[in-house]
Amino acid sequence: MPFSRQWEYPSIRFQMLKAEWEIETAHLSSITAIAMHPAYQQIIGMGPIVIPFILSEMKNKPGHWFWALKSIAGHDPVLPEYRGRIKQMTEVWLRWGKEQGYLKSE
């Protein structure tokens, strides 16, 4: 498999898992329940390769990706006072992504 295809495959896999996860957890009010969905767990299982996909997704549409990012990165850049504040948490993680080279700086 060409190198370019190796990168295409996880992107498609991520999009498929994301679509399944979004549909099946939209009505849930618990981050724990949302994060325990099998598709979300499979995304976490894909490891650091999905971090750019997650950050790109967050850039376009805020969502509960914080559990996955914290689990994969082994780090949480969000200050305690921002806990639960989706907009601020998203901004912090996007900044972290740029600093770590997962996202291009604009």
Partner 1 sequence: MSEQEIEKTFPNLLVSGYLITSPATPEYNCIAWAANDTDVWWEPDLLNLSFWPSGIPRIYSLDAYIKAYERLDYAICNTDDYEDGFEKIAIYVDLNKQPTHASRQLDSGKWTSKLGQLEDIEHNSLDGLAEYGTIAVIMKRKI
Q: Which residues bind partner 1 (CB under 8 A)?
A: 25-32, 34, 62-64, 66-67, 70, 76, 78, 80, 83-87, 89
Query: Nearer Cβ to partner 1, position 81 or 106?
Result: 81
Measured CA to CA, the distance from residue 1 to residue 71 in angstroms comes to 29
DSSP code per residue over 34-76: HHTSHHHHHHHHTGGGGHHHHHHHHHHS--S-HHHHHHHHS--
Instruction: Please state the closest distance from residue 31 (CB atom) to partner 1, in A.
Output: 5
Query: Nearer Cβ to partner 1, position 78 or 103?
Result: 78
